[in-house]
């Protein structure tokens, strides 16, 4: 039996778990592990900030479907990962974070770069470990990967003291599958629950499926489409669920919620059955829960029992894997015809096409919606798009039509500005043959723009579209609608982004008119390395529709009709 140090055991475990890439930043408390790294066939991506490491691991996990791994040292290295860990937790991303810790005998004595990172991350991890003995490294690592990817995925942190990394023992890999007492990640649905669900489905005349990210994570895309087609039920999508059902499918209504399509929100409010599959009834989806879908029974299928009845009470709840549950339901599901209901929803679209900014006459302004819709058209809808958070995020959801799963990667639950660029790098590493676009705002981009050099150093090809409106756009929109246009701390000065790209050794372009968009987008696609495009768009455009905070889901602020704009002389924004 060979002798291995704790540092070597860490890499041995990573190799046995199939890890090919680690995103990280070295430092004193993790240095023994970095020293051992050179002897193992794992690619290390050197980030410029530890937050970038966690976002890259997150993007890697979401794009590729496997566990993402991030590594950092103790103290500030570990605390810099916190925002990325919380992002992964809110969006159920399987990430394992490995941090170094001061020697075990110094813990609790405020040693140099000591921080209780396990205490800090208890609320934002699925589980975490403090490992102080070399013999505990392998069990902790095996459990970390098992927890991260099983059941409802999520981040797990393993904090390993420096002396545990430096210690040694006679060691070999234990291939025994992990079993954790009391942990049942995928309980099967009971026959009684399935029967109750079927009764709801049979009794419905106005059903709607609410499809969330759980559809993608469980691999239930085909089963969901088969289920919807069997009972002729429309499907509304959450933000993170986009791509789980092809946007072009006749039953796909589009996105629901605060910035969802108006007819989708109206349909939900008039439905008599909501079938929530792999979604958690987030407040941005429901609006005011007291007035949410008042006529509808609720069938909720989710792998996490803590989500059942948390936000919206269910009439029937099934805790279990969505794909397996849908397969069970399909075994006995009888065909149904809801053509009148589907036609009625279609009629509710009304003047939406007229109000759509894509239909407004060209006034010489460049709108973000035009940019994103052109990128969708030019890429054939086949790119992996990673967005930051804000107006551009919602416009992407509205105007880039996703046909395949894992083609939209965004920070949904936490709403983390600065997410897109590092997550896009991680996505490209996971899927090197995919075309990857990072669509970002001028505010969020500046938070993690240092990762441009990571892309340059690693030879990673990402196309970056900065939707530059000179504001913190979504906050400005709220100030316009609800604070009498008192723009406090939202006007934003930015550096010359083209020169920033050039300073990192990358190519940059600036676009100010729509006639330039297609040519520059094509040049970016054809270039070998990462390309940045600074799109100077209309400054005071707003995302429509919008459900105000605390309002009913169908109480939306709509974009004014062109005739109203013409009468008032207002600019069509």
Closest of 82, 95, 76 to residue 28, by C-alpha? 76
The answer to whether 252 and 224 are in contact (CB under 8 A) is: no
Ordered alpha helix ranges (H), 292-367: 322-332, 339-347, 352-355
User: In the annotation, is 474 catalytic?
Assistant: yes
Q: What is the DSSP letter of 81?
A: T
Closest of 418, 341, 305, 309 to residue 55, by C-alpha? 418
User: In the annotation, is 166 catalytic?
Assistant: no
Check the CA dihedral 58-147-149-3 and report its sign.
positive
Gyration radius (Cα) of the chain, Å: 25
User: In the annotation, is 162 catalytic?
Assistant: yes
Q: What is the DSSP letter of 465?
A: E
Catalytic residue among 126, 142, 149, 162: 162
Catalytic residue among 105, 112, 172, 502: 112
User: In the annotation, is 393 catalytic?
Assistant: no
CA distances from 457 to 45, 162, 419, 454, 505 (A): 9, 29, 19, 5, 9
DSSP code per residue over 210-268: EE-THHHHTT-HHHHHHHHHHHT--EEE-TTTTTSS-TTSTTEEEE-STTS-HHHHHHH
The answer to whether 165 and 6 are in contact (CB under 8 A) is: yes
State the Cα–Cα distance between residues 141 and 8, nearest whole angstrom: 13
Token pair of 220 as six digits:
């239930």
The answer to whether 82 and 55 are in contact (CB under 8 A) is: no
Token pair of 239 as six digits:
């933000």
State the Cα–Cα distance between residues 446 and 188, nearest whole angstrom: 46
The answer to whether 117 and 157 are in contact (CB under 8 A) is: yes
User: In the annotation, is 113 catalytic?
Assistant: yes
232 CB-near residues (< 8 Å, 6+ apart): 251, 335, 336, 337, 338, 339, 342
> 3-state DSSP call for residue 154?
coil
Catalytic residue among 12, 17, 50, 223: 50
Closest of 540, 367, 544, 533 to residue 445, by C-alpha? 533
Tell me, rounded to whole angstroms, the distance of Cα 44 from its chain centroid. 23
Cβ neighbours of 274 (radius 10 Å)? 26
Pairing of strands 127-131, 155-161: parallel
Catalytic residue among 56, 256, 417, 474: 474
Catalytic residue among 20, 113, 166, 539: 113
Check the CA dihedral 493-517-397-547 and report its sign.
positive
- Widest Cα–Cα separation across the chain: 84
State the Cα–Cα distance between residues 489 and 185, nearest whole angstrom: 45
> 3-state DSSP call for residue 365?
coil
Token pair of 96 as six digits:
């394992």
The answer to whether 531 and 463 are in contact (CB under 8 A) is: yes
Check the CA dihedral 297-300-305-308 and report its sign.
negative
Catalytic residues: 50, 112-113, 162, 474
């Amino acid at each position: 039996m060979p002798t291995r140090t704790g540092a070597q055991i860490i890499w041995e475990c990573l190799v046995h778990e199939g890890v090919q890439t680690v995103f990280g930043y070295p430092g004193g408390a993790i240095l023994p592990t970095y020293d051992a790294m050179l002897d193992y066939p794992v690619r290390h991506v050197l980030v410029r900030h530890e937050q970038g490491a966690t976002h890259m691991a997150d993007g890697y996990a979401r794009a590729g479907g496997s566990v993402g791994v991030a590594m950092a040292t103790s103290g500030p290295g570990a605390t810099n990962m916190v925002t990325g860990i919380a992002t992964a937790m809110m969006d159920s991303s399987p990430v394992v974070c490995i941090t170094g810790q001061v020697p075990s005998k110094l813990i609790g004595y405020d040693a140099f770069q000591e921080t209780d990172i396990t205490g800090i991350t208890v609320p934002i991890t699925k589980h975490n470990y403090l490992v102080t003995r070399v013999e505990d490294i392998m069990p902790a690592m095996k459990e970390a990967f098992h927890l991260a990817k099983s059941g409802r995925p999520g981040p797990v942190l393993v904090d390993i003291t420096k002396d545990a990394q430096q210690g040694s023992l006679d060691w070999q890999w234990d291939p025994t599958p992990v079993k954790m007492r009391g942990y049942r990640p995928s309980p099967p649905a009971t026959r009684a629950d399935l029967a109750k669900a079927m009764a709801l489905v049979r009794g419905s005349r106005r059903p709607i499926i609410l499809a969330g990210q759980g559809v993608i994570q469980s691999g239930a895309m085909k089963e969901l489409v088969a289920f919807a087609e069997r009972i002729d039920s429309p499907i509304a999508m959450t933000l993170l669920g986009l791509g789980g059902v092809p946007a072009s499918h006749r039953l796909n209504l589009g996105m629901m919620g605060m910035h969802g399509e108006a007819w989708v929100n109206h349909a939900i409010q008039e439905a008599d059955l909501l079938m929530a599959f792999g979604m958690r009834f987030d407040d941005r989806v429901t609006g005011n829960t007291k007035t949410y879908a008042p006529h509808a029974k609720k069938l909720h299928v989710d792998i996490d029992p803590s989500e059942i009845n948390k936000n919206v009470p269910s009439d029937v709840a099934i805790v279990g894997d969505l794909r397996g549950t849908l397969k069970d339901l399909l075994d006995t599901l009888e065909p149904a015809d809801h053509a009148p209901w589907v036609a009625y929803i279609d009629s509710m679209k009304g003047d939406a096409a007229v109000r759509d900014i894509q239909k407004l006459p060209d006034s010489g302004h460049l709108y973000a919606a035009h940019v994103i819709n052109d990128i969708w058209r030019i890429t054939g809808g086949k790119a992996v798009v990673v967005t930051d958070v804000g107006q551009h995020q919602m416009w992407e959801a509205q105007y880039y039509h996703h046909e395949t799963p894992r083609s939209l990667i965004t920070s949904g639950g936490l709403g983390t500005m600065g997410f897109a660029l590092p997550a896009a790098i991680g996505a490209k590493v996971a899927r090197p043959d995919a075309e990857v676009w990072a669509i970002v705002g001028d505010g969020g981009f500046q938070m993690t723009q240092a990762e441009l050099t990571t892309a340059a150093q690693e030879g990673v090809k990402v196309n970056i579209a900065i939707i530059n409106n000179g504001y913190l756009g979504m906050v400005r929109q709220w100030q316009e609608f609800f604070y009498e246009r008192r723009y406090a701390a939202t006007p934003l000065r930015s550096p010359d982004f083209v020169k920033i790209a050039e300073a990192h050794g990358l190519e940059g372009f600036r676009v100010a008119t729509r006639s330039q968009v297609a040519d520059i987008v094509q040049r970016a696609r054809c270039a070998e390395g990462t390309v940045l495009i600074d799109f100077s768009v209309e400054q005071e455009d707003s995302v429509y529709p919008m459900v105000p905070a605390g309002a009913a889901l169908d109480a939306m602020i709509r974009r004014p009709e062109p005739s109203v704009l013409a009468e008032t002389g207002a600019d069509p924004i």
